[in-house]
Amino acid sequence: LLNGSELICSEEGILSHRLEPDFIAITTDPNAEYMDLLALIDSLQQQAEENGMATALLEADLLATKNELAERDRTIARLTEEMKVLEKFPRETGGTGDHVLDFDYLHMIKLEIGYEDRDFSTLGTDDIEDVLLAVERVREEQRAKALGRE
């Protein structure tokens, strides 16, 4: 029961209380024992309900975190692919060739958002927006330089 004692019902239907391991007392008021038993059941139901709600909240948080990580991974994959494409452009050599990159694109992005010593896989979801803004700024600079040379 909630008070730490045990309620024992013998084969003969006699209710008794075990307050301590060696002390068993026959119950004189079965209604009080039933009320204690109902209180225990109510307490267990409340605990189960609270545990169920806590589990549901944890599952919702887990799902949200998985979705954020999936979005982060997709953004990183897209940025990595864009960088691979841009890294294929030849570097400017003595003013010959088409309008090309005249700097290390990946390094420039990392410098612009403060990740010069980190790999892009360590970016958090808050950093993704900074990366996208930096990519757009660098692209605008490239377009301006390319238009100025033609």
Report the pLDDT value the prediction gives residue 124, as an integer from 0 to 100.
Answer: 56
Whether 47 maps to a domain, the answer reads: yes
**Mean pLDDT value of segment 21-49:** 83
**Highest mean pLDDT range out of 18-22, 36-40, 78-82, 93-97?**
36-40
Supply φ then ψ for residue 29, to 5 degrees: -125, 90
Task: Identify the residue with better confidence: 75 or 55.
Answer: 55
Write down the pLDDT at residue 80. Answer: 79
Give the model's pLDDT for residue 95: 36
pLDDT at residue 96, rounded to an integer: 38
The pLDDT score that the predictor gives to residue 100 is: 41
Range of the domain at 19: 6-57
Average pLDDT over residues 41-67: 93
Looking at the domain assignment, is residue 71 inside a domain? no
In a domain, 136, yes or no: yes
| Beta strands across the sheet bearing 15-20 | 6-9, 15-20, 23-26
Count of beta carbons in the 10 Å neighbourhood of residue 61: 10
Tell me what pLDDT residue 125 has.
54
* In a domain? residue 79: no
Q: How far apart are CA 138 and CA 128, in angstroms?
A: 15
69 within domain boundaries: no
How many Cα atoms occupy the beta-carbon half-sphere of 76 within 13 Å? 15
The domain tally of the chain equals 2
Sign of CA dihedral 83, 84, 87, 90: negative
* pLDDT confidence band for 122 (50 / 70 / 90): low
Answer whether residue 62 is part of any domain: no
- 45 domain-assigned: yes
Beta strands in the chain (DSSP E): 6-9, 15-20, 23-26
Backbone CA torsion sign across 124, 125, 130, 133: positive
Question: Do 98 and 49 fall into the same domain?
Answer: no
Are 53 and 93 found together in one domain? no
Handedness of CA 40, 43, 49, 55 (dihedral sign): negative
